[in-house]
Amino acid sequence: MDTFSLLSSLRNTSGDTEFYLPTPPGYQPGRTKYVVVVGTVMSGLGKGIFASSLAKCLQDKRLSVAPIKLEGYLNIDSGTLNPYRHGEVFVLDDGTECDMDLGTYERALDQNLTRLNFCTSGQIYRRVLDRERTGGYLGRDVQMIPHVTGEVKNRLRELAVASMADVVFVEIGGTVGDVENAYYIEAMRELAFEEGPNNVCFVALTYVMEPATLGEQKSKAAQLGIRSLMQCGVQPHIIACRAKNPVTQKVREKIALYSNVPPDRVFSMHDCDTVYAIPEMLRGAGVDQAVIDWLELHPRIDEESERRARDVWTQYVNHLRHAKRQVTIGITGKYTTVRDAYASIIKSLEHSGVALGCNVEMRWIDAGDLDDSTVEAALRGIDGLIIPGAFGTRGAAGKIACLRYSRENRLPCLGICYGFQMAVIEFARNVCGMDDANSTEIDTECRYPVISLLPEQRKIEGLGGSLRVGGHDVAITPSTLAAEMFGEKARLRFRHRYEVDPQYIQRLEAGGLVFSGRSPRADIMQILELPQTVHPFFMGTQAHPELTSRPLRPAPMFLGLVHAALRRVDASTPPHVDFSPAPIEQPAARKAEQVR
C-alpha cells in the first residue's frame, strides 16, 4: 500500500488520527506530479520567470502543465495592492485579480488561467475558518499542522483534478526564512511524504554573489539559504544558481557539497539578453531533463513535438534579437518609476515589435508633470503613445493634454481603460463644446459628467464590489478598424468602475467619435476610434488588451499601434497589417486523458 492510501485508511478508520487529508473527488495519487520552486538568499530572483520557462520546456514535450502561485500575504487577492509595492494587478478571464507572475505564466504557456492557479494566505485561512464555523473538523482543535497545511495541499490537488495536468508547478512567493511562507514550505514537505517517491521535485533558486571589490563569486549566502530550506525538512533535488555571470564549476561543487545535491544537478542560471532565451538555456543546461528523470516522466514525453516547438521559439527569439528597424513609444502614466506596474504593456509592445520586425523603445513620461504648455516638448521624438490605466485624479490633466496633442497632430495613440475615459473627456471638451466635461471620479459637480458610474454599479457600490472585472464579450461595429482587428466580436478583459454615460453617446458620435465596440447586452461603450480618414491610428478601449497578448499572438490593438508608428517613421511600410497572422503553431500539450 502506498503512503497516501495508508494515510487515507487511517483517516477513515480512526477519529484519533493526527493526519488530515482533505482530497477533492476524483483525485488519484501519482497521476499528477509536482515541481515546487522556492527561493533562497533574496527576493527578486525571478522565480516566476524561471518556473514558467521550465514549465514551457515540459509543455514543449507534450506534457500538460498547470502552474499555481502561493502568496504569503493575507489579502484575499491582489486587487487592492499598490503598484509601487507590488507591480501590476493581473486580471484573469474569470475575474480573479492576482499577482503579475500569473501574467508571466499565461504568456509563457499560452494558457488562460483561473482562480485555481492563484492562492494567498488569506484564502487559505478563510477556508479553514469557514470550515471550522460549520463544524467541518468534528470537534478537533484547529491547528496550523495538520489543518492549515492540509488546506494548502487540498488546493494543489484541486488544481490537479481540474486541469488533469501531468505536472503542477508550485511557486512559493517570498524567500525561505520568511515567516509568512513557512507553513507553505511545511505543506510541501508533507506533500512529498504523502505522494511518495518520485512524485514531487523540489527546485531551489538561489543567488551567487560576485562583489566587484572581490572579483570572484562567493557562495556562502547560497549555502546558508539552502541549509535553511533543509532545516525545514525539505531536501532540494535541483539547485538553480542565479548570478550575473556563469557560475563556476568550483562554486557549484561547493554548493553541492553543502546541500547533498549531486553536482550535475546544480545549474548556472546566469543573466541573458532576453527572458525569452531562458527556456533554451534551461534545456542546454539539462534542467528539464533532470526534472524528467526525477519524476520518471520519460514514457509521457514526445521528442518530435519538442523539436518543432523549439524551432518555433528559436525563430521568435532570433527575430527579437535581429530587428533592424526601431520605433519609440511613449507611455504616459502615474507609476512610471516602477516598470513592473506596466509589465504586461511592456511585453505586449515586445510581442508586436517581433511580429513587425522592429525594436520598440519605450519612453516613460510622468503624467503628473504635464499640462498643455509642456506636452509638446515631452512628446517630441516619439512615434506613438500609450495612455495606460489608472485610478484617481493625479495625472488626469496631463493625460488629457497628451490625448489632445495626439489627436490634433495625428500621433498614433492607444488609450487603455482610464486612458479610454480621458479620451472621451478630451473629445467632449475640445470637439463637442462641453467645456466642463469630466469624470465623476475626478469632479462630482462637473456640468457634463461624460464618464460616471452607471446605475447598476451604484446599486452595488455599498457592498464593495463595484469594479467590473474579468473577461467579457464585446460586439464590434462593422466597417471599423476594430472590425479589421477582431471581426464580429472580441473577448477582452476589464477592470474598471466608471463608464461612458449613455446620455452623451449620441452627442459624442455626432462630433465624429466612433464607438466601435459595445457590450452585447447593455449600452456600455468598450472601444472607441477615429476614422482612419481623419487620423492614422487613434483608439481607446475600456478593456486591458495587454492582458491577453502572447509572444506568438500579439494583442491586435498593440500590433496596430506599433504598425502605425512604423508608418510614421518609414512611409514605405505597407499600409495594412494582418491582424490575424498565422505563424507556425506551437505544438499543443497532449491531452491528459490520452496518456493515462
Q: Which residues of 230-242 are buried (b: 16+ CB within 10 A; e: fewer)?
A: eeeebebbbbbbb
Least confident stretch, 125-139, 267-281, 334-348, 579-593:
579-593
Find the mean pLDDT for residues 570-586.
71
pLDDT at 129: 95
Mean predicted confidence (pLDDT) in 336-362 = 93
Question: pLDDT tens across 316-327, in order?
Answer: 999 999 998 999
The mean pLDDT value for 515-537 works out to 93
CA distance 335 to 333: 6
Q: What is the Cα–Cα distance from 281 to 285, expressed in whole angstroms?
A: 6
Q: Strands 65-71 and 167-172, how do they pair?
A: parallel
Among this protein's residues, is 272 annotated catalytic?
Answer: no
- Residue 516 and residue 498: Cα distance in Å, rounded? 18
The pLDDT assigned to 11 comes to 61
Q: Which of 432, 499, 546, 563 is catalytic?
A: 546
Task: Please tell me the total number of residues recorded for the chain in this structure.
Answer: 596
Catalytic status, residue 417 = yes
Higher pLDDT, 581 or 195: 195
The pLDDT assigned to 139 comes to 78
Q: Which residues contact 419 (CB under 8 A, 6 or more apart)?
A: 386, 387, 388, 389, 399, 403, 540
The answer to whether 57 is a known catalytic residue is: no
Among 351, 472, 535, 544, the one annotated catalytic:
544
Position 179 scores a pLDDT of 94
Looking at residue 260, its pLDDT comes to 94
Q: What is the mean pLDDT of residues 6-32?
A: 76
Mean pLDDT for 45-52 is 94
Q: Do domains 34-313 and 325-569 have the same CATH topology?
A: yes
Contact 78, 99 (CB under 8 A): yes
Containing H/E element for 386?
strand 384-387
Confidence at 523, pLDDT banded by 50, 70, 90: confident
- Given pLDDT bands bounded at 50, 70 and 90, which one contains residue 581? low
Helix 47-60 / helix 101-109 crossing angle, nearest 10 deg: 20
Q: Give me the chain's average pLDDT, please.
A: 91
Statement: 325-569 belongs to CATH 3.40.50.880: yes
Q: Which of 1-15, 269-283, 324-338, 568-582 has the lowest mean pLDDT?
A: 1-15
**pLDDT for 138:** 80
Helix H or strand E segment including 36: strand 33-39
Q: What is the mean pLDDT of residues 184-196?
A: 96
Per-residue model confidence (pLDDT) at position 593: 40
Is the CB of residue 292 less than 8 Å from the CB of residue 298? yes
Q: Are 210 and 242 in contact (CB under 8 A)?
A: no
| pLDDT at residue number 585 | 43
Domain boundaries, the chain: 34-313, 325-569
Of 539, 522, 513, whose CA–CA distance to 434 is shortest? 513
Mean pLDDT for 57-68 is: 97
CB atoms within 10 A of CB 527: 28
Using a pLDDT cut of 90, give the percent of the chain over it. 79
Q: What distance in Å separates the CA atoms of residue 164 and residue 64, rounded to the nearest whole number?
A: 8
Q: What percent of the chain has pLDDT over 70?
A: 93
Asked if the 34-313 domain carries CATH number 3.40.50.300, the reply is yes
Q: Which of 402, 417, 432, 446 is catalytic?
A: 417
- Whole-angstrom CA distances from 501 to 10, 38, 430, 437, 464 are 62, 48, 18, 11, 21
